[in-house]
Amino acid sequence: MTRDDTEETAAPAADGRPAGRWSVLFERGRQPGDGQGPTPDAAAGRGPRRPRGVAPEANRTNALHPGAWWVWALGLGTAASRTTNPLLLALLVGTAGYVVAARRTSAPWARSYGAFVKLAMAVLAIRLVFAVFLGSPIPGTHLVVTLPEVPLPDWAQGVRIGGRVTAEGLVFALYDGLKLATLLICVGAANALANPARLLKSLPGALYETGVAVVVALTFAPNLIADAQRLRSARRLRGRPDRGLRGLLHVGLPVLEGALERSVALAAAMDARGYGRTARVPSGVRRTTAVLTLGGLLGVCAGTYGLLTAEGGTYGLPVLAAGLAAALGGLWLGGRRTARTRYRPDEWGVRAWLVAGSGVAVAALMTAAASYDLAALRPGVVPLVAPALPLWPAAAVLLGLLPAFVAPIPKEAP
């Protein structure tokens, strides 16, 4: 699309549509003067214009709340757990994969997506291998192959090694494995798209210091690996073999020593920069905080116990709710002790609502579809039939693509 058509299509939108938050949402950082067409130098300075309806480039201000990504991914995961239809599952994987491809950054955590995909494939393969060698409870008539069966003693009844492998059993295992694999891929997508450090920063004030500790630990792990590599190569300089397990074991102690020294240096630096400064709060508030937190946690325990035992069904839920409320109250009061403020926290804006909402919508629609027409979502394996793509659930899954259009576009790697 050339720049000129873009202008033509963009101009009526800017004039005709009410300038509400939605029109703002779909347009890319428009300048006040843009409605009248770009001045020559402004157009030259901005380079090729993106077509209308494209999200803005990501920066610190419009960054999507990491929680929104998690809600979206968990929504897709919930949807995946409601169906075994391979076509729907493939559609879910495709949706998650497309969004990751469109909105992934070049950050180190974003590379974890590939690892999750490999893990999912491994899970699928293991599920199939088990179905082949350990048999499957699914009765089937289409024989694929008969493996030699290992004779087992009587006490191992119900366990089988080898024997008949039927197409029905394999297909059932495939559907089942695909469900697990899809769940893993959804979690992987959330991991790749949401910045873990920023997610931890969204913790309530009282838990902030724990969050910082986790962030520090997260940055320490790569340092530890780098140290181990450096010391291993230093072994080579001493004329000792630098490969093999022995080489790794020998550098273990120096690596830990180095990590310890660095932690002490970091602790000193953090102390000198005001980590752990607390505001003075009245002793009454302090005591209330302790009582609320402890009581709340006890309530949560008792409530969960009540829910899980048969006879506690009546008091379980209310006690759990009260316990949760008290614990949250305790956390909120505890937050008053820390004087710290937050620098540019991620805002839960319209885009975050849309991303999270699309995930929730997929989950809700799929759950509704499961109660309405279970057969379409769980295609039978006995007798063996080709799965059909149910139209409405498939359309619902496609809602999960919304983030690929509304989430801000990450910058190119520097």
Partner 1 sequence: MIRFEDVSVTYEGAAGPTVRGVDFEVPEGELVLLVGPSGVGKSTVLGAVSGLVPHFTGGTLRGRVTVAGRDTRTHKPRELADVVGTVGQDPLSHFVTDTVEDELAYGMESLGLAPDVMRRRVEETLDLLSLADLRDRPISTLSGGQQQRVAIGSVLTPHPSVLVLDEPTSALDPAAAEEVLAVLQRLVHDLGTTVLMAEHRLERVVQYADRLVLLPSPGAAPVLGTPAEVMAVSPVCPPVVELGRLAGWSPLPLTVRDARRRAGDLRERLAQAPGGAGPAQLRVPAQRDGAGRDGAARRDETGRKAAAERRDETGRKAAAERRREAAPQGVRPVSALARLLRRGAPDAPTESPGDRPAVVESLAVRRGRIEALRRVGLTAAPGETIALMGRNGAGKSTLLGALVGLVAPAAGSVLVGGAVPHRTAPRDLVRRVGLVPQEPRDLLYADTVAAECAAADEDAGAAAGTCRALVSELLPGIADDTHPRDLSEGQRLALALAVVLTARPPLLLLDEPTRGLDYAAKARLVTVLRGLAAEGHAIVLATHDVELAAELAHRVVILADGEVVADGPTAEVVVASPSFAPQVGKVLAPLPWLTVAQVREALS
Which residues bind to partner 1, rule: CB under 8 A? 59-60, 107-108, 197, 212, 215-216, 219, 222, 230-231, 233-242, 250, 254, 262, 265-277, 279, 339-344, 411, 414
| Nearest approach, Cβ of residue 284 and partner 1 (Å) | 22
* Residue number, 155 or 273, with CB nearest to partner 1: 273
Q: Closest separation between CB of residue 321 and partner 1, Å?
A: 33
Residue with smaller CB distance to partner 1, 98 or 275:
275
The nearer residue to partner 1, 39 or 219, going by C-beta atoms, is 219
Name the minimum Å distance from CB 343 to partner 1: 3
Hey, what amino acid is at 395?
A
Report the DSSP pairing between strands 143-147 and 163-166: antiparallel
| Rounded least distance, CB 239 to partner 1, Å | 4
Q: Which is nearer to partner 1, 3 or 230 (CB)?
A: 230
Q: Given the complex with partner 1, which of 17 and 277 has the nearer CB atom?
A: 277
Q: Give min distance, CB of 108 to partner 1, in A.
A: 8
Cβ pair 195, 58 in contact under 8 A: no
- What amino acid occupies position 305? Y
Least distance between partner 1 and beta carbon 342 (Å) = 6
380-385 long-range contacts (CB < 8 A, ≥24 apart) are 381/138, 381/140, 381/168, 381/171, 381/172, 381/175, 382/138, 382/139, 382/140, 382/168, 384/140, 384/142, 384/167, 384/168, 384/171
Query: Per this entry, what is the length of the chain?
Result: 414
Whichever of 97 and 254 has its CB closer to partner 1, that residue is 254
